[in-house]
Chain A
Amino acid sequence: MAYLYENPLLRWLMRNPIWGFVLIVFIFFSLSSEHFFAARNLQNILVQTSTIGLIALGMTLVMINGNIDLSVGATLALAAAFAVDVQSWAMFATWGNWQILPAVCLALLVGILMGAINGFIVWKTGVDAFIVTLGAMLGIRGLVFVYTGEQSFYAMNFAYSDFSALSVGPLPVLALIFLLCVGGVHWLLSRTVHGRNTYAVGGNREAAVNAGIRVGPHMMINFMIIGFLAALSGVLLSTQMGAATPNLGRDYELWVITAVVLGGTKLTGGKGDIIGTLGGVLAIGILRNGMNLMQVPAFYVYVILGSILIAVLFLDKRFNRTTDGGLRL
């Protein structure tokens, strides 16, 4: 069996088992449901997963850094609210369809700002990101409710909601944006100094500090990136819904974290990559889509996903024994 280890593809699969899972469910659903393996459905999967997927890209960065961000769902809602609402502001009334532009820009800026606040607090106070973003999750949701007054906002401009139906060739624009972001963040993480430093800061923060890496601003930038991606996801989601609701994005952070962990990123930092995250995102997306097509009630998806997450943890522990040399601790 030793020759199996020689095959680079199999070796890669063993290090990134989630893609093996993706392959299996993909084949399973293609065989089980006649509607699955159709261009239309596959496009749907990409679009549906892009909501969680975009945020998962940012969460990968943040988690490799050794942090976490629980406030992404709330940021998503805030950005969506801004995007839909600002369009209808009086000052843009005469802009026609161009009124969408400042709305979207402002929404994205809001996301970056929320990320900057989180990052700044983590940097300057030294409080753990879990706690900082736990508070932000509550507080930003509060901002959403204050801004929306518990109302839902509806997009008046049809161009906005029609946007979600646009395609470039066979690919929906929403999916295209997602894939572009995947490529972009992957490039950032693997080819740039900022990306390599992300691993360093997460792998051994003290060493990074002593090596002159400015850890504070660095982490802040990663929070701003995830803030941006959460906002982008919110904007794109609101184009699909043609609306923004105050409870949008609740519990999204849990799905995002699930996808990122399934993809092999370690909670403790220093390890992970975008390809893995993409696998985790697709795994969840294919599973939900396929089970939906097979008319399995959504309830079972929760149980299955929860179980898979735990199974992945268990398998990872089994096959990646760290060198404690067999001490029974």
Chain B
Amino acid sequence: MTRLKAGGPAIAKQGILVAFIVFMIAFSLMSDRFLSVDNFMSVFRQSAIIGVMALGVTIVVIGGNLDLSVGSMLSFATVLVVDLHDKIGPELAIPVMVLATLCLGAINGFLIGILRLNSLIVTLGMLSAIQGLVLIYSGGQNVDIVDQRGTWFAVFGRGAVFGIATPIIIFGALALVFHVIMTTMPFGRRVHAVGGNPTASVFSGIPRSRVVFMTYLISALCVAIAAIILGSRVMGSQNNVGQGYELQVLAAVILGGTSLLGGSGSILRTVLGVLMLAFIQNGLILMGQPYYTQWLVTWAVIIVAVWLDVAAKRGRLFSPIA
């Protein structure tokens, strides 16, 4: 009864795509403002920050690890770049912030890639430590950019290129670049190998430590880029602005079908997961639902999506455990 029929696994594997389409259709029917270019553009723009971070986390997860520190890192990076903007100008603030964020990523990479400590716990500890760092740096205050009109820094979060909002371009370009790297370049192949079987990777001569280290640098870079977009859009920052982002990012990665065990996953599908979450939020709001309804919907969607994925792999709908 619970064996999936021949067509079953195929549908289940594409579960996310199917769910996505179903939701889109449902939302378009339930609200006439949904299916418009303006609305779609707005959704893409708003999903850019989570989206960019999710790209980096996807690469870390394919490599067999987790990164829970991205939320605090976002707070750190945004506060830093906004604060330094007025002190040393955006031309210097941006590189300094990127460097500082990469250092944090390097710490993650060192502890996890080289010392081989557990990534969940390490990044949990870093989440806490970095949040403390931000609080110390900001003295508990929020930061603002004083001259919000006159600075070219605004282009990242508020500008547009050929009519398309800059955040969308950044997100899209980054997704494309990472997709190419992960699918056609040796580095991508190695990340998949290290995540799939770290021992066999070492036996095949792959520098496992270096590969994992790089994945955390990439994740930190993505956070830095997301911080530029965020800081530029809001022109200011609360010192805990990134709180909770790590779990939204993780939810998007999971929805996209990347396995938390490592070794498999796709950048493009993460983009789908990110958009899916964004459209759920958008669709529900357009339907007049309070913002927290999306959490209930997301709960159901995550469980059903992953369930179908797991079920497809084992060939049975329900777990065989008694």
Contacts and interface: CB of A to CB of B under 8 A. Distances in A.
A and B touch in the complex (CB under 8 A): yes
A210 B318 CA distance: 19
Report which residue of A302, A309, A317 has the largest number of chain B beta carbons within 10 angstroms of its beta carbon. Answer: A302
Contact of B124 (A127, A128, A309): A309
A132 B260 CA distance: 13
A214 interface: yes
Interface residues of B, number: 52
Contacts of A150: 290, 292
Nearest to A143: B296
Interface in B123-156: 124-133, 135-136, 140
B104 to A, nearest CB: 12
Interface stretch (A39-47, A118-126, A161-169, A173-181): A118-126
Contacts of A329: 198-199, 202, 208
Interface residues of A, number: 54
A125 B129 contact: no
Contact of B318 (A124, A146, A257): A124
A271 to B, nearest CB: 13
B251 interface: yes
B111 to A, nearest CB: 6
B120 to A, nearest CB: 6
Interface in A296-318: 297-310, 313-314, 317
Contact of B247 (A125, A137, A146, A297): A137
Contact of B117 (A132, A250, A317): A317
Interface in A128-150: 128, 130-132, 134-143, 145-146, 150
Contacts of B115: 314, 317
B198 to A, nearest CB: 7
Interface string A71-111: 00000000000000000000000000000000000000000
Contacts of B302: 131, 134-135, 138
Given A132-B303, A254-B128, A126 B116 contact: no
A98 B208 CA distance: 63
Given A303-B136, A314-B115, A134 B319 contact: no
B167 to A, nearest CB: 24
A245 interface: no
Q: What secondary structure prevails in chain B residues at the interface with A?
A: helix
B316 to A, nearest CB: 9
Given A127-B306, A329-B198, A209 B247 contact: no
A308 B314 CA distance: 40
B22 interface: no
B127 A306 contact: yes
B187 interface: no
Nearest to B250: A134
A257 B68 CA distance: 13
A125 B124 contact: no
A216 interface: yes
B254 A142 contact: no
A37 B146 CA distance: 48
B129 A313 contact: no
Given A126-B307, A135-B302, A309-B125, 20 more contacts: A131-B302, A131-B303, A134-B247, A134-B254, A138-B251, A138-B299, A139-B298, A142-B295, A258-B125, A297-B135, A297-B140, A303-B136, A306-B127, A307-B125, A313-B117, A313-B118, A314-B117, A317-B117, A329-B199, A329-B208
28 contacts: A125-B310, A126-B314, A134-B254, A135-B303, A138-B247, A138-B302, A139-B300, A142-B292, A142-B299, A145-B292, A209-B321, A215-B321, A251-B243, A254-B127, A258-B128, A267-B118, A267-B120, A297-B136, A302-B129, A302-B132, A303-B136, A306-B127, A306-B129, A306-B130, A310-B129, A314-B111, A317-B117, A328-B202
